């Protein structure tokens, strides 16, 4: 038996043991709309990326950012939870706590957390189960409860990833600068502004902005701007029929060749190749529909 639920805040699925192996995450365009957390309670799953296949044994917590096209297959008899949340949903759950920017930083790459202690397993099991339950019942105050359980899961993941070092805990000043920087990026990313522009708007030096970003998020500010631009490029390539030239123009690249080089650096594929790969992955997902994690709208 498996319970799949969704609402406007969070999407979740409780995967009970089954007689056959199942694809629970195909890496299709719809899967890549959200960040995913998978808690493998028992059994094993296989993670297949571009270059390798890795077997993960329970108990384990996996974090897949939106940009990860891996394919996850749950072995027969295994039990797991699968949750998905957008960047905005995660930001809302984390709020303005000083640790929030650092916790969001764990979503910058694929993380497999294994060798969980019994108390850690129990905490995650309760939090995942409660979150899926809140999504299913939609009782009064569900939005608040969902955010609280998601925050608890993200905090646990951050701690398990070894992020309790005080050097990565953001100060109030760092939080304020990062929040304003994110807002500016959202408004300006299509204009290809230099980092000095953002620093001037924030009232800090470029070096200071770089230091805050790398210290709290582990990444330079330019990489964050490029991530936002790459997300928009992927969206157009996956969801529209616009030509590469039209997408390049829409995102204000100086020419399609520049756009193509940018996409290849961020995805590993030229635009046309990336579009074909995503369509092929979607088609393959549809052919495996009886075992797949349901495609979210």
Taken in order 231, 4, 10, 68, the sign of the CA dihedral is negative
CB 90 within 8 A of CB 35: yes
Q: What is the mean pLDDT of the chain?
A: 80
Helices (H), the chain: 87-94, 100-104, 118-137, 142-160, 172-188, 195-202, 206-217, 221-239, 244-250, 256-267, 271-287
What's the pLDDT score for residue 24? 85
Compute the distance between CA of residue 31 and CA of residue 84 in angstroms, rounded to an integer: 9
- The helix (H) or strand (E) run that includes residue 74 is strand 71-74
82 forms beta bridges with: 13, 38
Comparing CA positions, the residue from 69, 83, 16, 22 lying closest to residue 290 is: 22
CB 163 within 8 A of CB 102: yes
pLDDT in tens, 116-133: 888 889 999 999 999 998
pLDDT in tens, 177-223: 877 887 788 888 889 999 999 999 888 999 989 888 887 777 889 99
Q: Residues of CATH 2.60.120.280 domain(s) within the chain?
A: 2-164
Residue 22: CB atoms within 10 A of its CB come to 21
What's the pLDDT score for residue 168? 35
114 forms beta bridges with: 60
* pLDDT level of residue 256 (50, 70, 90 thresholds): very high
Full-model pTM? 0.54
Whether residue 290 has pLDDT greater than 60: no
Side by side, the strands of the sheet bearing 35-42 are 2-6, 11-15, 79-85, 35-42, 60-64, 111-114
Mean pLDDT across the stretch 234-248? 90
CB 83 within 8 A of CB 36: yes
Lowest mean pLDDT among 14-18, 135-139, 265-269: 135-139
2-164 adopts what CATH topology? Jelly Rolls (2.60.120)
Compute the distance between CA of residue 219 and CA of residue 230 in angstroms, rounded to an integer: 16
Residue 277: CB atoms within 10 A of its CB come to 18
Q: Residues of CATH 1.10.10.60 domain(s) within the chain?
A: 172-282
* pLDDT level of residue 29 (50, 70, 90 thresholds): low
What's the pLDDT score for residue 289? 33
CB 34 within 8 A of CB 11: yes
* pLDDT level of residue 292 (50, 70, 90 thresholds): very low
Query: With respect to CATH, is domain 172-282 assigned 3.30.530.20?
Result: no
Mean pLDDT across the stretch 18-33? 79
CB 40 within 8 A of CB 56: yes
């Amino acid at each position: 038996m498996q319970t799949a639920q969704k609402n406007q805040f969070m999407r979740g699925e409780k995967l009970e043991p089954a007689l056959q192996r199942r694809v629970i995450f195909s890496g299709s365009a719809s899967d890549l709309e959200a960040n995913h957390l998978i808690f493998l309670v028992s059994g094993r799953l296989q993670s297949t990326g571009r270059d390798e296949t890795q077997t993960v044994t329970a108990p384990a917590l996996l974090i897949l950012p939106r940009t990860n096209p891996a394919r996850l297959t749950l072995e027969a008899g295994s039990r797991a939870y699968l949750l998905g949340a957008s960047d905005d949903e995660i930001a809302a759950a984390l709020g303005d706590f000083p640790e929030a920017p650092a916790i969001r930083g764990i979503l910058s790459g694929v993380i497999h957390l294994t060798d969980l202690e019994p108390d850690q397993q129990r905490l995650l099991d309760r939090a995942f189960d409660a979150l899926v339950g809140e999504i299913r019942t939609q009782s009064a105050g569900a939005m608040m409860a969902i955010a609280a359980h998601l925050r608890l899961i993200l905090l646990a993941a951050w701690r398990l990833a070894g992020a309790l070092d005080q050097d990565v805990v953001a100060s109030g000043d760092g939080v304020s600068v990062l929040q304003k920087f994110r807002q500016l990026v959202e408004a300006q990313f299509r204009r290809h502004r230099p980092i000095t522009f953002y620093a001037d708007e924030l009232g800090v030096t470029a070096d200071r902005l770089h230091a805050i970003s790398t210290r709290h998020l582990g990444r330079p500010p330019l990489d964050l701007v490029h991530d936002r631009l790459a997300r928009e490029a992927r969206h157009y390539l996956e969801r529209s029929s616009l030509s590469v030239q039209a997408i390049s123009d829409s995102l204000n690249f100086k020419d399609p060749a520049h756009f193509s080089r940018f996409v290849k650096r961020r995805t590993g594929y030229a635009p046309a190749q990336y579009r074909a790969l995503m369509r092929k992955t979607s088609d393959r997902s549809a052919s495996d529909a009886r075992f797949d994690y349901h495609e979210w709208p």
